[in-house]
Amino acid sequence: MWLVRPVEAGDLQGVLSISGEQGARLSSTLPKQEEAVAAKIEHSIRSFAGKLRGGESARYLFVLENTDTGAIHGAAGIDAKAGNGQPFYNYRRDALIHASHELGVSRRVEVLYPSHALTDMTQLCAFAIDPALKGKAPFELLARARLLFVAENRERFSSRMVVEIQGVQTADGRVPFWDSLGRHFFNMDFDTADKHSGLLSKTFIAELMPPNPIYVTMLTAAAQEALGRPHELSVPSFELLQQEGFQPGCYMDIFDAGPVLEARTDSLRTVVTSHRSVLHAAHGEDGETCLISAGQDGDFRCTLTTLGETLKNEVKVPVKTWQALARSAGDEVRIAPL
């Protein structure tokens, strides 16, 4: 059975094995270095326990576990505040009209402006999953379990949410946007910068980028092509998030120009369609499959279940689902359709 639950200290190796499978991704908030992953796990545990130190913002990390084997097959996070107390860097794609009355000409000039406008918005991040599961039910479970957690703890999160989607990378690992822009200021390739990013923060790297706006026309053709486009491996996430209500806007990643999706938290499909119910036993495994979660903090659990009949505020689900959720009859759960 597939289960999403808060990360625990013992998951370190499991998370490391997942993050190692991901492609180079400078802006991923799921690091690859053991030290950094351990720190992230520790921060998440304190976030769930409500034991944050002064000035820290909550960063939740969930894992996808196969309860039959105990193995970790994915991870996904929520940062309550994008930037985590530091500026959250993006480029905002905007346009200027260069016009002259005297010469009777006008030209649209596209510009990338460094922006911190998305700082402090709730950010979905650190998504990584066993490639074998991409596009399957556990993939949707992992991606959307976080949103059930948001629905359950709405007051902990901001009114708008953002997600960064990995940008275009060629088969040989080159990132056209980085090669056209960032590389000039770091004198290092994307992979090397990525390693630094794992040890330092993304903000740290971003602060080394040029503070001035960039004219799109000064970028190489390949880099212009990549603006706001997702990596082909990110397309399933991109599509799932769009179904959820996230939309690409004018913001993009400053390193690979991947799109930043935005949504109003209260309009997200999972938040709108999920509802609380009281748990009862079902005898068979008939009925449609849906997401079910229980718990609000460190005891949060989310899994897929078949849903028997639904009466008012009561749901009937198989007992093995109870066990996965560590709940029993009469306990409150949250249900969302797939």
Partner 1 sequence: MLVIRPLLESDLDDLYLMAQNAGKGLTTLPADRDLLERKINHTRETFNQRCAPEAGLYLFALEDTELKQCVGISGIQARVGLDEVFYNYRLSVTVNASREMGVHVRTPTLHLSNDMTDTSEICSLLLSDSHRGGGNGLLLSRCRFLYLDSFRKHFSEKVFAEMRGVSDKQGRSPLWDALGSQFFDMEFSEADMLSGLGNKSFIAELMPKYPIYVPMLPDAARAVIGLVHDNTAPALKMLQAEGFNFNGLVDIFDGGPVVEAFVHNIRTVRESVHRHVLISRKPVDLDVATSERVMIANQSFRDFRVTTIPAHCIGPDTVTVPREVADVLLVESGDQVRLAPLKDAGPQALAASEESKEPGRAGRFHRDRAD
Q: Hey, which residues are catalytic here?
A: 231
- Please report how many Cα atoms fall inside a 13 Å half-sphere around the Cα of residue 26, on the Cβ side: 29
Of 19, 115, 180, 321, the one binding partner 1 by CB under 8 A: 180
Q: Does 109 bind partner 1 (CB under 8 A)?
A: yes
Least distance to partner 1 from the beta carbon of 90, Å?
A: 17
Q: Single out the segment in contact with partner 1 by CB under 8 A; choices: 56-64, 180-188, 227-235, 259-267.
A: 180-188
Q: Is residue 103 a contact point for partner 1 (CB under 8 A)? A: yes
Q: Which of residues 55-94 bind partner 1 (CB under 8 A)?
A: none
For partner 1, the closer of residues 184 and 275 by Cβ is 184
Q: Does 107 bind partner 1 (CB under 8 A)?
A: yes
Stretch that binds partner 1, among 30-38, 75-83, 96-104, 225-233 (CB under 8 A): 96-104
In the complex, the smallest distance separating the C-beta of residue 25 from partner 1, rounded to whole angstroms, is 18
Look up residue 136 and give its two tokens. Answer: 């399957």
Give min distance, CB of 215 to partner 1, in A.
6
Quick one: which of 38, 45, 52, 111 contacts partner 1 (CB under 8 A)? 111
Please choose, out of 60-68, 177-185, 242-250, 295-303, the segment that lies near partner 1 by the rule CB under 8 A.
177-185
Smallest gap from residue 210 Cβ to partner 1 (A): 6
Residue type, 282: A
Contact flag: residue 250 with partner 1 (CB under 8 A): no
Subset of 183-222 contacting partner 1 (CB under 8 A): 184-188, 196, 200, 204-205, 208, 210, 212-215, 217-219
The only residue of 54, 68, 70, 105 in contact with partner 1, by rule CB under 8 A: 105
User: CA triplet 221, 224, 228: central angle to 5 degrees?
Assistant: 150
**Cβ 287 to partner 1 shortest distance, Å:** 55
Residue 95 within binding range of partner 1, rule CB under 8 A = no
Residues 295, 301, 302, 303, Cα dihedral to 10°: -130
- When the beta carbons of 18 and 223 are compared against partner 1, the nearer one is 223
Q: Do 37 and 16 form a contact (C-beta atoms < 8 A)?
A: yes
**Binding site residues, partner 1, CB under 8 A:** 98-100, 102-103, 105, 107, 109, 111, 180-181, 184-188, 196, 200, 204-205, 208, 210, 212-215, 217-219
